[in-house]
Chains A and B, each alone.
Chain A
Amino acid sequence: MYNFEFVKPSSIDEAVAALGEDEAQALGGGQTLIPTLKQRLARPARLVSLSGIAEMKGVGAEGGVLTIGGGTSHATVAAEAAGSYPALAALAGNIGDPAVRNRGTIGGSLANNDPSACYPAAALGSGATIVTNAREIAADDFFKGMFTTALEEGEIITAVRFPVPQAANYQKFEQPASRFALVGVFVARGGDGVRVAVTGASEEGVFRWSEAEAALASDFSTGAIEGLSVPADGMIADLHGSKAYRAHLVGVLTRRAVSAAS
């Protein structure tokens, strides 16, 4: 790992100012960034730790909306969202392993937008709003393909707002070595219809399966999507699974999620 200057501000304003310098990068829980730095895939001159910013931590539910601070750990979400949004808490409680969940944050996960990460499916599947120091971004406009988001240089995720659906479920087919999702599907049924978000499968990163959404909107049952499948074209292929295998898993996991959510 190349060396860098380490700073740990205690407010969002200070963090944004510290990130204004050239070659500065935010540090969330470091569960992705530290391994990346060890491999010398990034070379920031300065790391701005977000872990000392109290206003970016915590979980609060009000009027059917769950707001999670961008610096909140997966373990805290698993514990504190269990009553208000059980499907989201279960997803957070199954990311990686306990030590990863104690450090990793929701803001870091969404900003990273790993094509196999769990939180992007929850944010897109719930129709969440990503709140930054500068603006609010709808999940539909946030994810721009593998490891790419709508965030500008130096912009930080300060909170994420989830409208709590009537029913939801996340099904993760775990890749046992990395513990990420080989494929994961988040299904949510709310006032505005049904959303189905798929992670781990597409070369474009997390996506909505609109055919399944349309079919489920009129009939929220596994039968409604029995014959539906996603094309294998554009799916990820690696040593863990072919394009066709991932496409198949999308159908299986969506049906499991619908059945668990109904």
Chain B
Amino acid sequence: MIQVKMTVNGKEKSGEVEGRTLLASFLRDTLGLTGTHVGCDTGQCGACTVHVDGVAVKSCNMLAAEADGASVDTIEGQAAPDGTLNAIQQAFQDHHGLQCGFCTPGMVMSAAALLKDNPRPSEAEIRFHLSGNICRCTGYHNIVKAIMAASGQDVSAIAAE
């Protein structure tokens, strides 16, 4: 077993992992942070997206041991401690950016990574950035709209589809 330590959503966490333990399993099974979803387990769907040292990664495609010493941010750390949603989460709610919600943690984490680098992305930039996040419900339209709204852009002209 390997002892790992990481800062998860700002708090020091440690635990024992096997070589093969995935970061997604460590977060969900050891730390109980089940907001990070595992959809495909093959690196395709993006439901498991978290940030490691500030950049988006698929936690089903990274070993927990590789994240030793890193700073990890998950969906659980996005809202304020009192439960107030952050701008992206609130925009997903306001613009109906989710239906079943399975893809949503990954969508929100991917969107957060995008807005950090590009505070006012165009619709095309958002769609390109989300190419690794698959949603089986929404048809993406309202997800894109929510991210535009979260970045302070006027979406009143974008019709609901």
Contacts and interface: CB of A to CB of B under 8 A. Distances in A.
A136 B68 CA distance: 33
A96 B18 CA distance: 28
A31 interface: yes
B129 interface: yes
B33 interface: no
Contacts of A102: 55-57
Task: Output the residue of A27, A37, A99, A100 with the most chain B CB within 10 A.
Answer: A99
Contacts of B68: 8
Contact of B42 (A1, A38, A96, A179): A38
A100 B55 contact: no
B65 interface: yes
A30 B20 contact: no
A113 interface: no
Given A30-B63, A34-B43, A99-B61, 12 more contacts: A1-B20, A4-B19, A6-B19, A34-B62, A38-B42, A47-B63, A97-B132, A98-B114, A98-B131, A99-B46, A100-B58, A103-B58
27 contacts: A3-B19, A4-B20, A6-B19, A6-B63, A6-B65, A8-B65, A8-B68, A30-B62, A30-B63, A34-B22, A34-B43, A34-B63, A35-B61, A37-B20, A38-B41, A47-B19, A96-B132, A97-B131, A97-B132, A98-B114, A99-B132, A100-B43, A100-B61, A100-B132, A102-B56, A102-B57, A103-B57
Interface of B: 2, 18-20, 22, 41-43, 46, 49, 55-58, 61-63, 65-66, 68, 110, 113-114, 129, 131-133
